[in-house]
Amino acid sequence: MNDVVTKRALLLVNSKARRGQESMEPVIDRLRSGGLAVSVEPFEALPEIARDIVRLRNTADMVIVCGGDGSVSSAAVAAMESGLPMGIMPMGTANDLARTLNIPLDLCEAADVVVKGKRRVVDIGTVNGHAFFNVASIGISTKLAQGLNPEMKRRFGRLGYAMAAMKVLAKATRFRARIIEKGNAIDVLTYQIAVGNGRHYGGGNVVEESASIDDGHLDLYSLETANVWKLALMLHSFRTGRHGAWQEVRTAKCVEFDIETRKPMPVNTDGEIVTSTPAHFKVHPKAISIFAP
């Protein structure tokens, strides 16, 4: 009779995520009843998560990240380098990666996805070595990320994004940047440059109509309208990924991009400010496997 090998799951829990104060016992029970040996490691600061994976990689057969998109992205490079598959418990505000991969927002149902063991191999984007699954951007969204504190996320959820966005748009100004693709450079005057790896970002917007998280390339757009309030007319296009139809929106596809600005500007990756320009963006095809339906 063959011995059953019990797989070891390292459960990393972000207590500062929007749903971070929820009891994890039902999730842990669901995972254990599915045959997993679960060890729990709490974290609060995002850099801790990568260190925990590196420190504990030899004690686990998989990593399960309980947090929002920023937490998952912070774990990405360490999980990729360790070779461990990743599970996601979507406990953040936007949960765009879960949306892209059809992972349920109900945590027990998300645990069932991990137990069933079906995986999807996906791409990872990096900017100056920092990973992102959804989108990295410069401009309006960085100011939005800076103005949206954890307490506002926890209290208002997606409504908090809308409240912060109105404040940011009221003060938004364009900036000059150079976009370099395959050695060709173009200078732009823009409100925002976004580079997408996945499909969804910003609470359900679509990076590009045909984008997927395993297509092997990045999708760039630059918002070059003269009037930021014209965004109100463009909102539906951004929700469906058809914003490239507007003449004020420049789009491009490539495996690498470089963005240069006159002065260093912060870069937002999946809701977290992690680096600044000059920024080198690169896609890493089929870099990590994630438990998904």
Strand 36-43 and strand 279-291: the pairing is unpaired
Q: Which of 292, 274, 104 is nearest to 213 (CA)?
A: 292
Place of tokens 């971070």: 20
**In DSSP terms, which residues pair with 185 in a beta bridge?**
180
The pLDDT tens digits of the residues spanning 162-178 come to 555 666 666 778 999 99
Say if CB 102 and CB 77 are below 8 A apart.
no
Mean pLDDT of 155-166: 56
Say if CB 130 and CB 293 are below 8 A apart.
no
Place of tokens 């800076």: 146
Q: Model confidence at 159, in pLDDT bands (50, 70, 90)? A: low
Residue 129's contacts (CB-CB under 8 Å, 6 or more residues apart) are 77, 275
Place of tokens 């438990």: 291
Res 169: pLDDT: 64
3-state SS of the chain: helix, strand, coil percent to 5? Answer: 35, 35, 30
Residue 30's contacts (CB-CB under 8 Å, 6 or more residues apart) are 108, 111, 112, 115
Q: Give the DSSP H or E segment for 141.
A: helix 140-147
More confident residue, 8 or 243: 8
Domain 7-124 CATH superfamily: Probable inorganic polyphosphate/atp-NAD kinase; domain 1 (3.40.50.10330)
Residues above pLDDT 90, as percent of the chain: 65
The pLDDT tens digits of the residues spanning 244-285 come to 888 889 999 999 999 999 999 999 999 889 999 999 999 999
CA angle 80–66–21, rounded 5-degree value: 160
Mean pLDDT of the chain: 88
Say if CB 40 and CB 24 are below 8 A apart.
yes
Q: Which of 103, 92, 69 is nearest to 19 (CA)?
A: 92
The conformation of residue 3, written as its DSSP 8-state character, comes to: P
User: Cβ of 63: how many Cβ atoms within 10 Å?
Assistant: 26
Residue 141's contacts (CB-CB under 8 Å, 6 or more residues apart) are 135, 192, 194, 202, 268
CA dihedral 90, 95, 99, 102 (to 10 degrees): -10
The pLDDT tens digits of the residues spanning 96-145 come to 999 999 999 999 999 999 999 999 999 999 999 999 999 999 998 776 76
Asked whether residue 1 carries a pLDDT value surpassing 50, the answer given is no
More confident residue, 194 or 154: 194
Domain parsing of the chain, residue ranges? 7-124, 130-285
CA angle 279–237–286, rounded 5-degree value: 45
The pLDDT tens digits of the residues spanning 14-27 come to 877 767 677 899 99
CA dihedral 42, 97, 90, 150 (to 10 degrees): 70
Q: Which of 134, 137, 135, 140 is nearest to 225 (CA)?
A: 140
pTM: 0.86
Q: Which CATH class is domain 130-285?
A: mainly beta
Residue 291's contacts (CB-CB under 8 Å, 6 or more residues apart) are 62, 85, 86, 87, 88, 103, 113, 114, 116, 117, 118, 119
